[in-house]
Amino acid sequence: MKRRTLLRAAGVAASTLALGGAALAQETVKIGLILPMTGPFASTGRQIEAAAKLYMQQKGDTVAGKTIQLIVKDDTGVADVTKRLAQELIVNDKISVMAGFGLTPLALASGPLATQGKVPAVVMAAATSTITEASPFIVRTSFTAAQATVPLADWAAKNGLKKVVTLVSDYGPGIDVEKSFTEVFTKAGGQVENLRVPLANPDFSPFLQKVADAKPDALLAFVPSGVGAQFMKQFVERGLDKSGIRLLAEGSVTDDDLLNNIGDVALGTITSHHYSASHDSPENKAFVEAFKKANPNMRPNFMAVGGYDGMHLIYEGLKKTNGQGGQALIDAMKGLSWTSPRGPVSIDPQTRDIVQNIYVRKVERKDGELYNVEFATIPNVKDPVKAAKAN
């Protein structure tokens, strides 16, 4: 009897320890941040990681009584690596949220895993419209390329431009930029010729020569963040800066992180985007100051604000669910609204995309540095691709 009692007591003790371990495990909310930290898109990863860590530094690492743990993984910008890392984070690390995703193929690679594991995936960078349709667990705090481009097409039509050549990187967001600009501009009576450049190892020179030969009123360019400097260099080498052809661009081209390195060739470039480091608001001034203090010699760009707001969305969602993940967390994120460093934003409950202001800007010198200076605001812009499907 005594032996049986001892065994029962030992069993109870073991169960208690196991439950205690599970309880401890549930007290931590793990966020898997999957980013290109090396390779051609490393600036994207560096900006998002810095912004996510700044948010945690400012707001603390506890939400709804749970400790937040950030696990950063480098996918090198390769989709197969993203998929493997996402799987490892879900199965081995038991993450509650995935986040990051520097490019469209990387975000799409994780979609089925988010669905299978019922793990919310917060897209902080990738910009193809269809991404949120790849899984009901994907929500976006960056932007869509079409959302940023339509206001620029309107501006071009209203400012006397008749003939435009588009030059875009040949993948999801580039195709969205090309399509949305072409539809709006031709509807307004303009004429468009489209050119696409390979995403991997792009050489813009032959395409820029075609632009020079076409003699349009303007060139509309889109390249992913990190490649803008190379594009601008070849733009000058081909003499297009002196050709009288106006340069328009989706705002990724004049990325705040790289703009000073691009140099004076960027002066006068007209772009449209959702964020500029020179955005005039108290929230943005505080954000830029804190970001620079935490990361000397770095200026926050649109990737940083996507990461910062992504962390805000996760924190606020966890507050609403009292720390619960899964379906409850993704439901809690739908419809959330707040004042971001970029301006007022909200999550569209139908599409899980961000609704935000888009600004038309011009590259100017300000306080000895180059900035995208906003001169027009288009408020509360939804992704136009999904808006068209809804109508």
**Mean pLDDT confidence for 216-235:** 89
pLDDT, averaged across the chain: 92
Which residues does 295 contact at the CB level (< 8 Å), separation at least 6?
50, 54
The letter for the amino acid at 195 is L
Three-class SS state of 355: strand
> pLDDT per residue over 18-70, tens digit each?
333 333 445 899 999 999 999 988 999 999 999 999 999 999 999 999 999 99
> pLDDT per residue over 257-287, tens digit each?
889 998 898 999 999 999 999 999 999 999 9
pLDDT in the model for residue 221 = 95
Specify the higher pLDDT residue, 15 or 168.
168
Tell me the C-alpha distance between 276 and 356, whole Å: 13
First to last CA, the chain: 76
pLDDT in the model for residue 26 = 59
Say if strands 218-222 and 246-250 run parallel, antiparallel, or are unpaired.
Answer: parallel
4 pLDDT higher than 70? no
pLDDT in the model for residue 22 = 38
Which residues does 87 contact at the CB level (< 8 Å), separation at least 6?
113
326 pLDDT higher than 80? yes
pLDDT in the model for residue 259 = 92
Share of the chain above pLDDT 70, in %: 93
The letter for the amino acid at 233 is K
Closest CA to 219 of 244, 251, 256: 244
> pLDDT per residue over 297-312, tens digit each?
899 999 999 999 999 9
pTM: 0.90
Cβ 214 vs Cβ 165: under 8 Å: yes
pLDDT category, 199, cuts 50, 70, 90?
confident
Cβ 202 vs Cβ 172: under 8 Å: no
Share of the chain above pLDDT 90, in %: 83
17 pLDDT higher than 60? no
Which residues does 157 contact at the CB level (< 8 Å), separation at least 6?
184, 185, 188, 189, 190
pLDDT in the model for residue 87 = 98
**Mean pLDDT confidence for 351-377:** 97
Taking CA atoms, 272 is separated from 145, 148, 269, in Å, by 10, 6, 10
pLDDT in the model for residue 201 = 76
Tell me the C-alpha distance between 178 and 165, whole Å: 10
Cβ 245 vs Cβ 147: under 8 Å: no
**Mean pLDDT confidence for 122-128:** 96
> pLDDT per residue over 74-88, tens digit each?
999 999 999 999 999
